[in-house]
C-alpha cells in the first residue's frame, strides 16, 4: 500500500510505555509495505531541539519553573514542525513522532496545573493548530511504567517527579482520549511488545486505508 499524501501519527503515553520500541516496529512494518516513513521524537528531534532537550531533562535542573518548561517544550515543537514534520507531510511521507502537543496538555496542563488557555494559545503559535491524523495512546499503570524505566536505567528530571505527578499525567491523557476519540486510540501497553504492535498495526492499517492508501 502507498499513501498519496502525508499522514501524521503521534505516539503518546506516560513514562515506560514502550513508545520508542513501537515506533521502530511500526516504521519497519510500513517500510516493508512500501511506505516512505520518518520516525522522530520530542523533545530533541532536531539539532536545536537536542539542546533544548538537554536543558529540559537534566536531573539537576530542579529550579526550572513550570512556565519555563512550557515555553521550552513549545520552542522545541516549533522547530520540530518547521524542520521535520511539515516538510515530510509536504513530501507525502508518513511521520511517526514520539510525543507531540498532547504531551504538553497532559504534563504541563493536567500534571503541572498550568492554565489550559495559555497552553492552547502557545500551541497555536508553535504549531499553527496542526494535529496528528492519528494519535496512539499507550496506556499503562504508572508504577509499572516507572519500574520499566528504572530497570532500563532511564532517569530524567520528569521521571524523578513523585508518583502523584505521573498519575495526573495518565489521567490527563485519558481525558484527552475521551474528548477526542476520533483521533486518539488507546492501546493497552501492559501486553507483550509483539501483541501491542499487532494492535497498533491494525489501527494504523485501517486509518491509512480510510485516508486513501
Q: How many CA atoms lie within 13 A of 192 on its CB side?
A: 2
* Domain 7-210 coded CATH 3.40.50.300: yes
The whole-number pLDDT of residue 150 equals 75
For the entire predicted model, the pTM comes to 0.93
How far is residue 63 from each of residues 24, 56, 57, 66, 180, measured CA to CA in Å?
Answer: 34, 11, 12, 9, 34
Q: Tens digits of per-residue pLDDT, 144-181?
A: 998 887 776 666 778 778 899 999 999 999 999 999 99
The whole-number pLDDT of residue 2 equals 43
Which residue's entry shows cell 507531510? 89
CB-CB contact of 197 with 190 (8 Å): no
CB-CB contact of 144 with 190 (8 Å): yes
The whole-number pLDDT of residue 1 equals 39
The whole-number pLDDT of residue 4 equals 47
Q: Consecutive 10-residue runs of the chain (213 residues): their mean pLDDT?
A: 73 94 98 96 97 92 94 98 96 97 98 98 97 98 88 72 93 98 98 97 95 70
DSSP assignment string, 64-132? --HHHHHHHHHHHHHHHIIIIIHHHHHTT-EEEEE--HHHHIIIIIIIT---HHHHHHHHHHHHTT---
The whole-number pLDDT of residue 158 equals 80
* Burial of 189 from C-beta contacts in 10 A (0-12 / 13-18 / 19+): buried
The whole-number pLDDT of residue 71 equals 98
Helices 47-57 and 66-80 cross at an angle (nearest 10°) of: 160
The whole-number pLDDT of residue 47 equals 98
Give 135's strand partners: 10, 184
The CA distance from 156 to 153, in Å, is 10
Q: Where are the domains of the chain?
A: 7-210
CB-CB contact of 44 with 53 (8 Å): yes
> In the chain, what are the helix, strand and coil shares in percent, each to the nearest 5?
55, 15, 30
The CA distance from 23 to 6, in Å, is 17
Q: Is the peptide bond before 43 cis (omega within 30 degrees of 0)?
A: yes
Amino acid at each position: 500500500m502507498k499513501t498519496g499524501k502525508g499522514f501524521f501519527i503521534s505516539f503518546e503515553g506516560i513514562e515506560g510505555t514502550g513508545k520508542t520500541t513501537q515506533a521502530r516496529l511500526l516504521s519497519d512494518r510500513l517500510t516493508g509495505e512500501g511506505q516512505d516513513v520518518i520516525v522522530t521524537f520530542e523533545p530533541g528531534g532536531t539539532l536545536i531541539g537536542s539542546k533544548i532537550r538537554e536543558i529540559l531533562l537534566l536531573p539537576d535542573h530542579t529550579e526550572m519553573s513550570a512556565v519555563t518548561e512550557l515555553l521550552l517544550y513549545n520552542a522545541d515543537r516549533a522547530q520540530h514542525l518547521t524542520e521535520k514534520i511539515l516538510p515530510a507531510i509536504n513530501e507525502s511521507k508518513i511521520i511517526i513522532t514520539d510525543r507531540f502537543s498532547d504531551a504538553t496538555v497532559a504534563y504541563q496542563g493536567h500534571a503541572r496545573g498550568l492554565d489550559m488557555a495559555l497552553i492552547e494559545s502557545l500551541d497555536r503559535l508553535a504549531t499553527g493548530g496542526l494535529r496528528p491524523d492519528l494519535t496512539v495512546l499507550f496506556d499503562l499503570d504508572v508504577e509499572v511504567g516507572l519500574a520499566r524505566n528504572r530497570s532500563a536505567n532511564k532517569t530524567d528530571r520528569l521521571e524523578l517527579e513523585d508518583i502523584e505527578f505521573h498519575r495526573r499525567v495518565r489521567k490527563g491523557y485519558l481525558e484527552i482520549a475521551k474528548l477526542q476519540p476520533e483521533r486518539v486510540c488507546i492501546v493497552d501497553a501492559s501486553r507483550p511488545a509483539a501483541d501491542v504492535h499487532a494492535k497498533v498495526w491494525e489501527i494504523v492499517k485501517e486509518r491509512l486505508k480510510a485516508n486513501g492508501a
